[in-house]
Amino acid sequence: MGENRELVAAMEELDMSQAELARRVNAETQQLTGKEGSVTDRDIRRYLRGETAWPHQKQRIGLERVLGRPATELGFIPRSRRTRQSRPEETSQRPVPGRLG
């Protein structure tokens, strides 16, 4: 994957640092679950670099609430879509030697 440009743009639009985003996502998690969230600025860097394509549900909800848009508009890709996108084309399968198609 590459840089998550949509997330970068959303953070820049709100003039939000990585540490501030992490703090606010954790506050949203606490409000949602009653337990403090565990997102760090290191997690945010992983999101920005595209290393985490689909954060855990509580983190996604926090990101959506803080940044005011759905996770898919923030550049995250649901796991089911990633799986379908990464499958090789069925037409590229090689025939088994010695068998007629």
Assess if residue 93 is contained within a domain: no
Total domain count for the chain? 1
Q: Count the neighbouring beta carbons within 10 Å of the beta carbon of residue 21.
A: 24
Domain that holds residue 38: 5-79
Q: Indicate whether 86 belongs to any domain.
A: no
pLDDT of 24-68, one tens digit each? Answer: 999 999 999 999 999 999 999 999 999 999 999 999 999 999 999
CATH number of the domain at 63, please.
Answer: 1.10.260
Distance CA 30, CA 39 (A): 11
Residue 91 has a pLDDT of 40
> Model confidence over 67-93: pLDDT tens digits?
999 999 999 999 885 555 554 444 445
Has this prediction a pTM greater than 0.85?
no
Whether 85 is in a domain gets the answer no
